[in-house]
Structure 1
Amino acid sequence: MDLTSIQEVFDRVAKKQKLCCSKTQEVIDRTLHEFEAAVEHLDVTVDRSPEFRKGILTDLQLKLTEIAPVNQVGALQKELNTTVSKYGKMVDKAFNPDIAKAYREVESDSHLINQIIVQHFYRMGLFESGDCFAKESQEPNAAAALKVPFYEMYQNLGHLREKNVEPALSWARRNRQALEAKGSSLEFRLHQLQFLHVLRTKGRIEALEYAKLNFTPFAAEHMSDIQRLMACLLWANRLECSPYKDLLSPSQWDKVALEFTRESCNLLGQPYESPLYVTLSAGSQALSSLLKLATVMSSKKQEWAALKQMPVEIELDNSFQFHSVFACPVSREQSTADNPPMLMRCGHVLCKQSIQKLTKSNSRMFKCPYCPFETSASQCRQIYF
């Protein structure tokens, strides 16, 4: 059962709950109305005989017996509980809680895993947690080389969030050569934010001097941006109402902070996302497929733990695609330099070794596994992704 079906059942449960609540409230209101009416009659007939007042209470009892609030509310609650119970069973069936079935016993290096965990703490800015884990795991040197640069990165990010550009600019100047080699525009973007800050706080003259001093090295590649910034001088006291108000958007600071984080990680030779986070996220997406595969293999009395490679392809989001790969639809193996993907005349693609198995010589014709078209190995061409 897919998530859409579960959502539809949940909507029905929610609708039933609202209906039950509405009907229960009606029963309570009706019961309360009869009590209030009886109290009002008793107040009016305070001087009447006891038999008359007893008659009012008898009538109230008859009406309450007719309404039967306890029975009505109980029936409604029982009906709701039945619906909720069915939904719970459906969720349990759709989401198998026994994720241990997808577990495989594999050899692992505990020292390497500890280093990855410590590095993850440092990458997330949790330096005290990283130090504590390194101490308790007896890995004092785990990712120690990354602690200082990541600490500096988070300090600079903290200053950027407080609209203080100078620390990040100082870092960009020290790494200007490496940033230029990558074609990064980070230093200019930081100068842009500082220029606008100077313009709004110190006025046109100070902003113009700042531009003359810092924009010249970037004129060749960022002339159009510099021209927009110079036009801001005409709107110094009313930038919020100018055609350049987009430059004041808080998103500009967020974009620069993100770019600064990416460039910092890149110069450290580290990916932007934590490897541990990426691994766990990919694993959580693949978990349902792995559980299904393990269940199917178990029913066929095949050993899940004995597999050397996955017999099926695990679909992941595009965010987990870091480079182009091709898996041969025949052999299920990924292409390599020695086994590249080959394009057949019909348009289908197989790996070279699969084609060689289909034909014993380059002149022999063979039928495509996916269409009736026939071709030969000599007619296939290597393709590149």
Structure 2
Amino acid sequence: MELKSIKDAFDRVANKHKLSHTKTHEIVHMLSQELDKALSLMQDTQLDHKSILVDAKKLFTDKSPAAQLDSAEKELNVALTKYPKVLEKQLNPEIAKAYRTNAEFDTHVVNQIIANFFYRQGMFEIGDCFVAETGESECTTRQSFVEMYEILEAMERRDLAPALNWAGANSERLKQARSDLEMKLHSLQFLKISQGQNSQEALSYARKHFAVYADSCLYEIQKLVCSLLWDKNLEQSPYSEFLSPVLWDNAVRELTRQYCNLLGESSESPLSVTVTAGTQALPVLLKYINVMANKKLDWQSVEQLPVAVELPEEFQFHSVFVCPVSKEQSSEDNPPMMMSCGHVLCKQTITRMSKNGAKTSFKCPYCPTDIDSTRCKQLYF
């Protein structure tokens, strides 16, 4: 949520605590010095002990250490009292306000999405339990993800046989997707054989499997073969990069991505992406809803948000653009156009807003910027 507000409130508490500690230390030190001074004077039998005590009492009364301590502690307590309220406000907002009561959900579709999420995360027992309790039919992707995780678990054990078999069976589809996964897997198998100090077997493996990649991966093949010259001391060689576990991590990520791609699934869980993006957009949405409530406007009747919700690049998908004003899908004759303020509308919408070119400027429907229609730029997705 608003982490800056929480940090500012925490910093205020920390600063007040530091000041209170410093003030307390100063007062205690002052009292200790005055008491030591009075005791030192009282050791002199020539002086009046009563007057010494009266002077010390007067000094303590004038300094009023208790009042100073109370003042410092009061400021700290005020900051401590406000901090939980900030946490409560920022970390426990009433997110139900952001729910559209008129939204309709297909329960079957939602259940399938949730089950699919469990299976693609490898949580098969939880997925099976969820399917059984909801009374849904088995998710169609379950068996495919079982196979994927069997391959990934084998790779964790440094067993590449299942991965190579799957890549070989889908070789043509991987080539069409322009993936070098098969080459990566063969490279890892080659390195695994060579690190077993069996150079002849590694060369035989290279002759058998690297020839088809000679045109596209020649430099990489040359490096792999040359690494055999350092098979007994690879970590001290120019090819020490081949010992990095990052190579295996990259292969696992690429296999997961391509497996999901060939399965017709996105590389990231749609449910996970939706929840993460929604969480990041929620603070802006809640703030907007509160503003609407103060103005006594109905959130449920709004068709689109009049405020921009900024999301990171990984949550921006532009395979299809729909004009937020006309609700029309962009086309070659009606392409998306970016205005000088950064907002995007379809070309026909901009033409209508500029009165078919009768005037060159108009107000952006999303911000108060004056837009020059002649300066709008076409976007290509």
Same-fold status (TM-score > 0.5): yes
CA distance in 2, matches of 1:312, 1:96: 23
Choose which of 143, 148, 154 in structure 1 pairs with 2:143.
148
Corresponding residue SS for 1:221: coil
The residue that corresponds to 1:222 in the other structure is: 217
Choose which of 111, 117, 120 in structure 1 pairs with 2:117.
120
Amino acid at match of 1:11: D
CA distance in 2, matches of 1:185, 1:119: 27
The residue that corresponds to 2:83 in the other structure is: 87
Q: What is the CA-CA distance between 1:324 and the residue it aligns to?
A: 5.8
Corresponding residue SS for 2:280: helix
The residue that corresponds to 1:10 in the other structure is: 10
Choose which of 97, 100, 105 in structure 2 pairs with 1:101.
97
Q: Are 2:122 and 2:145, in contact at CA under 8 Å, matched by a contact in 1?
A: yes
| 2:354 matches 1:368 | no
Deviates further, 125-134 or 306-315: 306-315
User: Structure 1 pair 343/76, CA: closer, same or farther in 2 (3 Å)?
Assistant: closer
Q: Deviations over 1:32-74 (max 9, x none)?
A: xxxxxxxxxxxxxxxxxxxxxxxxxxxxxxxxxx9xxx99999
| 2:124 matches 1:130 | no
Corresponding residue SS for 1:125: coil
Amino acid at match of 1:10: F
Amino acid at match of 1:8: D
Within 5 Å, which residues of 2 pair with 1:1-385? 3-17=3-17, 80-95=76-91, 97-105=93-101, 106-141=103-138, 143=139, 145-323=140-318, 331=325, 333=327, 335-337=329-331, 339-342=334-337, 350-358=345-353, 365-369=358-362, 371=370, 384-385=380-381
Q: What is the CA-CA distance between 1:354 and the residue it aligns to?
A: 2.1
Q: Are 2:164 and 2:182, in contact at CA under 8 Å, matched by a contact in 1?
A: yes
CA distance in 1, matches of 2:181, 2:274: 29
Corresponding residue SS for 1:130: helix
The root-mean-square deviation of aligned C-alpha atoms, in Å, is 3.8
Q: How many residues align?
A: 345
Corresponding residue SS for 2:300: coil
CA distance in 2, matches of 1:103, 1:123: 27
User: Structure 1 pair 229/275, CA: closer, same or farther in 2 (3 Å)?
Assistant: same
User: Structure 1 pair 149/27, CA: closer, same or farther in 2 (3 Å)?
Assistant: farther
Q: What is the CA-CA distance between 1:125 and the residue it aligns to?
A: 0.3
Q: Deviations over 1:210-234 (max 9, x none)?
A: 1111111111111000000011011
Q: Deviations over 1:285-335 (max 9, x none)?
A: 111111112112222222111222223332111110122666768x38575
Q: What is the CA-CA distance between 1:123 and the residue it aligns to?
A: 0.6
Q: What is the CA-CA distance between 1:113 and the residue it aligns to?
A: 0.6
Q: Are 2:320 and 2:330, in contact at CA under 8 Å, matched by a contact in 1?
A: no
Deviates further, 318-327 or 288-297: 318-327
Amino acid at match of 2:129: C
Q: Deviations over 1:329-373 (max 9, x none)?
A: 8x385752264335799x997523323424665xx5312225585
CA distance in 1, matches of 2:373, 2:207: 69
Q: Deviations over 1:258-305 (max 9, x none)?
A: 001001100100001111111111111111111112112222222111
CA distance in 2, matches of 1:183, 1:309: 39
Q: Deviations over 1:101-127 (max 9, x none)?
A: 111111111111111111100010000
Amino acid at match of 2:11: D
Amino acid at match of 1:6: I
Q: What is the CA-CA distance between 1:208 and the residue it aligns to?
A: 0.9
Amino acid at match of 1:84: L
CA distance in 2, matches of 1:351, 1:314: 20
Q: Are 1:335 and 1:341, in contact at CA under 8 Å, matched by a contact in 2?
A: no
Deviates further, 235-244 or 18-27: 18-27
Q: What is the CA-CA distance between 1:178 and the residue it aligns to?
A: 0.8
CA distance in 1, matches of 2:376, 2:247: 50
